[in-house]
Every structure is written in structure tokens, then in C-alpha cells.
Chains A and B, each alone.
Chain A
């Protein structure tokens, strides 16, 4: 079945450490997105990519970085510059047109050790 796979499901970060969250999709979608979810805050966009080798900052990009070397993959790195990284991270994808809903992975929960 087609879908979006996020890994790992749980991740722990030490102080000063960078960690990378994986997102892979086999839906042949052009566009991919990373959101951060905090309790009571809804979803906030970190980065998005509408095509391979191109991506744009969302509302809260500081302390995060991404790459889009393959259509299927959009990894997110949480850098040590992100001082409050504890959150639930969601990856999504679609073909990019505004009338299309986004399909979501099951998320990665990041915590600080």
C-alpha cells in the first residue's frame, strides 16, 4: 500500500546534538512538508518542498534544516540551535495544488534527554 513512513517513532536528543528524522513516501507526490505539533498549538509549518532540490522555509524554520535530493525522501534535521525541540513532528505530502489534501505519516516524537 502507498503511504508515508516516518522513522523513528520515538527519538531522544542529548544537549548539543543534531538529530535527523526520516520521511519517505511512495505516493509519487511532488510536494512534501514538515510540521511541528505542540499540545494546544495545532500544526506549524517548518519547511516544505514542491520539487526535488528545492525547499522553502515555513513559519518556524529556525533551528531546523532539510534536504530534498530524491522525490521520495525529505529528511528533517533538528540542530543544536533549536533550543526547545521536544515536540511531535509530522511529515506530509501531496501533488502540490491548493485543492489537494495533504497525506500524513504517523509522526516522530522527539524528547530531550
Chain B
């Protein structure tokens, strides 16, 4: 079965600094990958997804992620963060052709952007 590990539970950064939120997955077959953002007391919002093709995926709010098959990683990056990026970020994986009932979420990374 596939699994997802978000390596950092909390990431504090200063405003305008770059940030990388790390996500590693385990699967012996092809997968689809997603990053979601959750603001306090709200639901999850899709940031970006990797389905196939270019390994560099651009999403909303200036975020991007790179799919690395050999390292089974899908790290999320932003070159310059804003206070408004303070939120919790979730990585999720599903097997290619798999049931949506088997969408697996990581435990989340709380990004805290300080002025």
C-alpha cells in the first residue's frame, strides 16, 4: 500500500524568504500527487497536482512542486512567502487508476510566516 510522509510538522520562515515543504511517498507503481492548503477553520483547497508530463508543476498563489520519481518525492516550493501563506499544507497520493477511497494524505506541515 502507498504511504505519504511529510518530513516537517512545522516550518517557520520570515516574510519574503523562500520555503520548501517536503513530501515523500512510497509506492511501487505509478501515482498521482496533490498538494492542498488549509487555512484555519476551513476546508482544504487544491494548490497543484501532478498527473503526468512535466515534472515541474505550477500551482496557485505562486507555489510550485517538482515530481522526482527516483527519490519518490514531491516537494512544494515558493521563492518568496507572504504572511498570508501561513496555513497548513497537505500532500496526498493515489495510485494511478486506483479508487479515490485510497487517497492517502500526509499528516500536514504548518507553515508559519513571520514579519
Q: Which residues of A contact B (CB under 8 A)?
A: 4, 6, 31, 33, 40-43, 45, 48, 50, 56, 58, 90, 92, 94, 96-107, 109
Contact = CB atoms under 8 A, between A and B. Distances in A.
A100 B51 CA distance: 9
A107 B32 CA distance: 25
Given A33-B100, A41-B107, A58-B101, A101 B34 contact: yes
Given A42-B108, A43-B90, A107-B43, A99 B103 contact: no
16 contacts: A40-B108, A42-B90, A48-B100, A50-B100, A56-B101, A90-B44, A92-B44, A96-B100, A98-B97, A102-B44, A102-B103, A104-B36, A104-B44, A106-B41, A107-B41, A107-B43
B42 A106 contact: yes
Interface residues of B, number: 26
A40 to B, nearest CB: 6
Interface string B44-59: 1110010100000000
A106 to B, nearest CB: 5
B43 A98 contact: no
B96 interface: yes
A31 B107 contact: no
A58 B99 CA distance: 12
Most A CB contacts (10 A, CB to CB) among B94, B98, B101 go to B101
Interface in B77-95: 90, 94-95
A50 to B, nearest CB: 8
B99 A43 contact: no
A99 B34 CA distance: 10
A104 B45 CA distance: 7
